[in-house]
């Protein structure tokens, strides 16, 4: 009789989809971005504990015979135990990285934290990020390095192991290295720096200077009024 009662329950549980009840790792999340989140969380922990000390009854003995709190395993554990808890962005992947690579974090800590954590952990150890102004699997320099994209654009893949290093120019700039002005912008130079400014709204096919007098031609609906006035 008991089996007859329990059998429908077993059948129900067998067919129940519990996948939504199991925590998932965001496998589609950028590894570099997640690593940066973890590093930021660790750095917040360093800031939060910078004025702390041993909580035991004999702090002087502990610091003399063990380690100064600032470099102690006690402080590391206090930081590690709260990693990722304050962030909502990429939190699941942050927890995953902190658990998977705790030994690397501890290695960095016990070796004296001589390098910046981001460079040591995300770039050198996990190889999921690149230094700033570098991109791709081999962390090659971005176009125009160190003045990437002539300071008028961004490098595709900057700081990550992805991208192609090509420039995405800011509005008004063009060219492989963002070193030319786009259509309907004119060129000025300020302290040897290229500056592109937008032509007057009456201009057609570009201009050579600001205002209606600088137009190469007038748009439909605008009339050329001579050299003094332009379009």
pLDDT in tens, 158-191: 999 999 999 999 999 999 999 999 999 999 988 8
- Over residues 138-159, the mean pLDDT reads 95
- Domain 130-180 adopts which CATH fold? Laminin (2.10.25)
Pairing relation of β-strands 153-155 and 167-169?
antiparallel
- Over residues 113-134, the mean pLDDT reads 95
**CB-count exposure of residue 170 (10 Å: 0-12, 13-18, 19+):** middle
- Over residues 81-97, the mean pLDDT reads 90
Q: Which two tokens stand for residue 166?
A: 């090509």
d(CA 206, CA 35): 46
d(CA 42, CA 86): 11
- Over residues 140-152, the mean pLDDT reads 94
Residues of the chain with CATH 2.10.25: 130-180
Kindly give the residue spans of alpha helices, DSSP state H, lying in 17-90.
Answer: 31-48, 59-65, 73-80
d(CA 155, CA 145): 10
pTM above 0.75, yes or no: no
Is the per-residue pLDDT at 198 higher than 50? Answer: yes
């Amino acid at each position: 009789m008991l089996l007859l009662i329990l059998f429908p329950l077993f059948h129900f549980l067998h067919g129940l989809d519990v996948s939504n009840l199991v925590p998932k790792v965001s496998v589609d999340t950028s590894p570099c971005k997640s690593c940066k989140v973890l590093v930021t969380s660790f750095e917040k922990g360093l800031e939060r504990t910078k004025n702390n000390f041993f909580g035991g009854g004999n702090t002087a003995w502990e610091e003399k015979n063990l380690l100064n709190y600032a470099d102690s395993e006690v402080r590391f554990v206090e930081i590690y135990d709260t990693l990722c808890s304050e962030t909502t962005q990429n939190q699941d992947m942050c927890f995953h990285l902190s658990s998977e690579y705790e030994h690397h974090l501890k290695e960095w800590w016990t070796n004296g934290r001589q390098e910046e954590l981001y460079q040591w952990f995300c770039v050198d150890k996990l190889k999921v990020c690149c230094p700033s102004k570098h991109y791709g699997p081999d962390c090659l320099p971005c176009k125009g390095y160190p003045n990437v994209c002539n300071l008028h654009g961004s490098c595709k893949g900057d700081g990550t192991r992805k991208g192609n290093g090509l420039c995405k120019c800011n509005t008004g700039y063009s060219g492989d290295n963002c070193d030319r002005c786009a259509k309907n912008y004119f060129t000025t130079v300020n302290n040897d720096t290229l500056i592109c400014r937008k032509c007057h709204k009456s201009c057609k096919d570009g201009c050579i200077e600001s205002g209606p007098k600088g137009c190469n031609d007038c748009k439909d609906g605008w009339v050329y009024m001579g050299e003094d006035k332009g379009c």
